[in-house]
Amino acid sequence: MGNSSVSDREGKEGGKELANPGSDSDSSKMGVEKNPAPSRVSRVFNSVFRYFHLLNYAEPTAFDYLLLVTGVITSIGAGIPFPILGILFGELVDELNGATCAADTPHGSRAAEDYQAAINQKVILVVAAALAQFGLIYIYSVCWNLFGERLSHRLREKYFRSLLRQEVTFFDKLPAGEVSSRLSADINTIRNGTSEKVGVYLGVVSLFVASYIIAFIKGAKLAGILVSLVPAFLLMTFVGGHYVGKFATRASEHVASASSIALESLSNVMVVHAFRANDRLEAKYAAKLSSAKKEGIKKAVAIAIQSGVLYFVAFAACGLAYWQGSITIADVVAGRTEGTTVGSIYTIIFILVDASIVISQVSPYLQIFSSAAAALEKLKSDIDRESKIDGTVDISDHQSAEFFRGDIQLQNVTFSYPSRPDVPVIQDVSLQFPSGKTTAIVGLSGSGKSTVAGLLTRLYDCDGGDILIDGRSIRDINVRQLRNYIGLVQQDPMLLNRSVLENIALGLVNSSRSGHLDFQPILLGTELSKVAEAVRGGQDILEAARVYGEKVVEIVHLVLHAAKLADAEVFLGTLEYGFGTDVGTNGDLLSGGQKQRVALARALVKNPRILLLDEATSSLDSASEQRIQAAIEQASHGRTVISIAHRLATVKNADKIVVMRNGRVIEQGSHVELMAKDADYAALVRLQNMGSETASVGTALGGKESADIKDMTSSGSEDGAQDANEKAGPATEKAVDKEGLGEEDTAQPTWPILKRMGSLTRPYLFWLFIAFFAALIVGGTYLGSALIFGNTIGSLSPCNTEQAIRAAGSLFGLLYFVLAIIEFFANFTSWSTFGLVAEKVLYVIKVLSFRSLFRQDLQWHQSENRTPSSLLSFITSDTAAIGSLTGSIIGNMFSIAVNFVGAIILAHIVAWKIAVVCLAVVPIMLGSGFMKLWIVARFDEKHAKAFEDSVGISVEAVNSIKTVAALSLEKEVLGRYQRSLAEPRKEVTRSILLSNAFLALSMAVGNLLYALVYWWGSKQIVAGLYTQTQFFIVLVSLLVSAQLWGHLFTMAPEITRAGRAAGRVCALIDLGSSDSLDSSAQGSQGTQATDHESMIESKIPAPVSGQGLAVNFRQVKFSYPARPNRQILKGLDLDILPGQFCALVGPSGAGKSTIISLLERMYSIESGTIEVGGFDINSKMEPVFRDEIGLVPQDSVLFDGSIRFNVSLGARPGIEPSDAEIEGACKLANIHDTIASLPDGYDTQCGNNGGQLSGGQRQRLSIARALVRKPRLLLLDESTSALDAESERLLQDGLEKATKGITVVAIAHRLHTIRRADVIFMIEDGRCVDKGTHEELMGRSESYRVNVLHQTLDG
């Protein structure tokens, strides 16, 4: 809490700027510009301090600090045995020299045994040091791993909690895809950067320091010369690290914005399919990735230069050291100096050079650490942000005792959205909503009606003026407390991905009724989801609830009552699992009308003091609406009701009606008063009235009306009964999904994955050849150094003459320098080319994954528990996992493997007796490494689903942030998030304790190998079988190899994660089955060669007027894949002639939207045929026929991007619409003037999911999008439900112009909009029960008359 005062102070200072709407982004820019750019040195130090800050971030507990301190101490301790071994080895060299010289002299037999005894004693010390090292490595790797896991867990939670705290406007700039990328990719980066790698690095640094200390004690002059290594290394590390961090940050920003494009497209897959817009969205996605690829390649080059220089310095230093050492030893042999032995020089060079090589080996870790620090910076900017409207602050006791009457007043309120500060939405509005009365707000779409609802619930704060409740300013009331008095039904109702029971009960989470407080533990726990599960298992809901106690039963009673009020009982009765039905992501498995009723029940369940209805019944048929209206009027006695509506019939009984236009109130009064005034309201009523045609029928109906309505709905309400359980996935799909993306993919065999990855890398074979060749040379240089080293030690033996020693020193010193130059170029080439290929391949993988996802039909997307966020994880988490392995790490693995094979061969050639014993230890080393790999893989496999679910929960919360905020669900969502990760949290400790034992073994076994080899080698030398030169060549070649293997296994987690991710991604790409990026163009035409019909159709010229398409349904039967035994369409027959305007009417849920989905071939039918323009649409491979169809879906889905981009998505594939065509379509949709009045015109950004526009504006844009492709068949699904009467009339005129001669199929519950239809089909219970013109049906169909009558205001 220490920094809260600072942030409070900042908040107050920032408040001046933030009061200016929309300046939040600008003010931050200004803040940046005021500070001068920091110098390079300060930036480097910042990156170091940033890392320390990361370790201390997110409130570590005492246990975390214990882990950190223990981890640091044992890591440092683990580095110390090595230099001590160096001393022992130096003494062994002297002993061996003695033994060699003794073996050369005839009287040396006694001495040889003494030497062997001395050597054995030192070998025992080496074993002791190795065992100590094993213990220390084990402790530090456990500590660091646990620390990293706990930190990443706390960060996940802290980040998510801080997101839930932010006000709604914050999310205008934060798409959900970015959140998912932060929570998976960025947190994984942080976990990698705080795991055992930190311990390894600290151990190496302590080894480095200890080595220098010992070196100075042993021989100050030589050690002094080698100090030059340190500044060279440090400089390279810091300068390189700075550039690497810079490019990495830039790349990850581009990747995050690409993810958000992907998520948005996946969330609206039906629209993408209907317009075949996947190529356009793919191009937008690929453009973002392309920028990321460029930054990634720059990063790879920076790392390549860094590692090349590191190796160059290490090898060059060896050359310098041996040359200097040879001079010293020559002086000793000549008797000029004393005290320096070959052993002490060997110790100095061995520990210093080895320390340098190892520190350069772990140089990739620095990149991992700096990436982790950079990832925190991005998370931190969101975490530390002060929310302007924080709905998570708890209500204090004295606040909860307060009581609201619900008297609301707006005083001179002005408001504009922060994203468009120059467009006023509310202009100087003063209004009174008296308590206990019903007030209705009506007016044109975009006049600011829904904004009033947002301001009252404090989703936004007004820019000027004030809003008072019971005389108190709304800003002085605790946000959570304010919201607990308000029940809100939003224009686009959002449901969360759980059962209907849980969704309705969410309304109780923040309730002002004291009796509801006792429910909190249950609402925030898992009892209700268990009840829903029991209901799905066939139990009665009340019986299932009794198991969990009386409180749960009470909640269920409240839910049932609310569902009854909201008229949801009827349709829930027709669903297979009733209240236990899962509603799917965003509630997509229910129809629009069903979603609206559940949302209404959720608002009514807490019996709120203030009820805010924003278009609460726009998606319902008249009969259903009438029942709800009656229920609400009954339930609204004694509470304040504010109803926003376009259907004026629903508000004519309101106590007061307020008419708004362009953000101002233009008149207010009761229905009777306003009709008498005969101004704007009266004009709207006249527009919406059916007029005299129905007057004659009005009296004839009389008392039969209510009976009629009952009959109608009993048959209706199936439309979403259809989708509700799509979860189960069709039986027929199962086979496909085995290759698809179920859980089965985890055990994909390795060979096909490698083949698949091979085919993806084929275009870069030249670069790969260079990269592997360079890596091969890197592997070979280690062997070169072993040869040079063995010869050097042999030549520097004091048995030799002074001249021989000097000559050998110069020669081998020079050879080392040559090796250093080779190392520089080989490393630079290997790292940069691997990095280049990796970035290119990742780009291809991501684009192909994206393409493959959109090649699958809607049925696939909705089955097998797939959600947009789980599918997104293929593109984010899985490619990130593959990315962490590619490039430098593959190069590293390859050179280690080359070195390993080379070392074995070389050792056998040089001294096979010694080599054979060395080899015996290798399986232990490899085995322990592989065990570590296996354990990590098992853990990952087990918990991948949990991590995926947790990301899904966070993405859903961001997508429905208005709902989460308005219902104060922050704690509920956070609790659910924590529960989803509880299982892996428990298991992770066990996994870490076990797997790190093997890691420690694989790292420490190298030193046991040293002990064995020295003991056995000394026996051979004492026996005179081998020379010292041969012994050292074998020793160094095998031991450097062993050490490198140890380091390779610290990469174990990355290798397993990448392997599994590659399996999943390959399975996904194979579903889309295209190998190269160029196939996007062929993708749509590739199949046409065999599909002659589609070929003919695709060549049909652009439509001329009068070229509508005929539509025929012949005995169509259809059930949703989730419930094959429940038919939605039961032998439907429809005949629509070319150019006809046909309307589908009927109760909410009769299967009308299903007909639209089937016309677009979103699902496959069971039997019958559907013909469009004379072609059977189910007989084709490619849905080319969609090019002739324009769709306006029930939910007006827009994408993040400009208005121009959104409208042009509707154009036919491969055709770029001109500005004139876009404007023409917008004029027809009656939105051109609105767009022209915006400051940026057609370049105005629509925001995430079109959130910057009002519901009516979104609807008109989606109509313009359908018209811009000049379709021959136009499908309108509830296309004007969000429009006021005037906009609707203008739109009707535009549509009439646009649809001359083309076929139109429209669904509407507002009968007057389709009164002019050429033919009206009455759909009930999946059949067409009647058809005719409006007049014919008025004469003979009673249910049709009931609907019409309800919509007549003066009838």
The single-letter DSSP state of residue 876 is: I
Per-residue HEC secondary structure of 1106-1170 comes to CCCCCEEEEEEEECCCCCCCCCCEEEEEEEECCCCEEEEECCCCCCHHHHHHHHCCCCCCCEEEE
CB of 602 closer than 8 Å to CB of 535? no
**Measuring CA to CA, which residue among 688, 936, 742 is closest to residue 149?**
936
Q: How many Å apart are CA 363 and CA 201, to the nearest integer?
A: 9
C-alpha span between 674 and 681 (Å, rounded): 6
Instruction: Identify any residues that bridge with 1304 across adjacent strands, giving them in sequence order.
Output: 1141, 1274
Euclidean distance between CA atoms 893 and 1049, whole angstroms: 10
Strand pairing class (610-614; 486-489): parallel
Calpha distance 461→416 (Å, rounded)? 10
For 264-278, give the DSSP string.
HHHHTHHHHHHTTTH
- Per the CB < 8 A criterion, the answer to whether 377 and 449 are in contact is no
Q: What is the DSSP letter of 57?
A: -
Largest CA distance in the chain: 136
User: Could you tell me which residues come within 8 angstroms of residue 863 by beta carbon, excluding any fewer than 6 positions away?
Assistant: 726, 727, 728, 729, 730, 733, 737, 1121, 1122
CA-angle at 1021, arms to 1019 and 1025, nearest 5°:
100
H or E element that contains 1220: helix 1219-1228
Q: How is residue 884 written in tokens?
A: 């962490």
**Cβ of 176: how many Cβ atoms within 10 Å?**
27
- Cα separation, 155 vs 166, in Å, equals 17
DSSP string computed for 136-187: HHHHHHHHHHHHHHHHHHHHHHHHHHHHHHS-GGGGGG--HHHHHHIIIIIH
Beta bridge partners of residue 750, listed in sequence order: none
Q: Yes or no: say if 58 and 155 are a contact pair by the CB < 8 Å rule.
A: yes
Amino acid at 686: R
Please give the Cα distance from 728 to 601 (Å, whole number): 26
595 dihedral zone (left: phi>0; alpha: psi -120 to 50; beta): alpha
Half-sphere exposure of 558 (CA within 13 A, CB side): 27
- CA-to-CA distance for 995 and 1055, rounded, in angstroms? 14
The string of DSSP letters for 1332-1350 reads: E-HHHHHHH-HHHHHHHHH
DSSP 476: G
Distance CA 964, CA 1127 (A): 35
Instruction: Determine which helix (DSSP H) or strand (DSSP E) holds 450, and give its type and residue range.
Output: helix 449-456
DSSP 8-state assignment for residue 831 = H
Q: Are 851 and 282 in contact (CB under 8 A)?
A: yes
Q: Are 597 and 571 in contact (CB under 8 A)?
A: yes
* Dihedral over Cα of 678, 680, 681, 685: its sign: positive
In whole angstroms, give the CA distance from residue 477 to residue 87: 73
Alpha carbons 738 and 733: distance in angstroms, whole number:
9
Q: How far is CA 172 from CA 430, 437, 906, 958, 1245, in A?
A: 28, 34, 64, 10, 10
Report pLDDT for 740. Answer: 43
CA dihedral 996→1000→1005→1011, nearest 10 degrees, is: -150
H-type alpha helices, 538-670: 541-546, 550-565, 569-574, 592-604, 622-635
As given in the structure block, the two tokens for residue 270 are 């039906």
* Angle of the 1342-1350 helix axis to the 622-635 helix axis, nearest 10: 50
CA separation for the pair 661, 627 (Å, rounded): 30
Other CB atoms closer than 10 Å to residue 1220's CB: what's the count? 8
Check: CB of residue 1111 under 8 Å from CB of residue 1303: yes
Encoded tokens for 730: 């069709």
End-to-end CA separation in angstroms for the chain: 64
C-alpha dihedral, 1246 to 1251 to 1255 to 1260, nearest 10°: 20
**Secondary structure letter of residue 656 according to DSSP:** E
Beta strands in 191-348 (DSSP E): none
In angstroms, the CA 761 to CA 879 distance is 15
SS3 for 439?
A: strand
Question: 669: helix, coil or strand?
Answer: strand
Low-confidence ranges of the chain (pLDDT < 50): 1-36, 691-746, 1075, 1079-1106, 1354-1355
d(CA 748, CA 752): 8
Using DSSP bridges, classify how beta strands 1189-1192 and 1273-1277 pair: parallel, antiparallel or unpaired.
parallel
Q: Residue 1167: left if φ>0, alpha if ψ -120 to 50, beta else—which one?
A: beta
Query: Would you state the structure tokens that stand for residue 979, as one six-digit string?
Result: 């529960």
Sequence letter at residue 520: Q
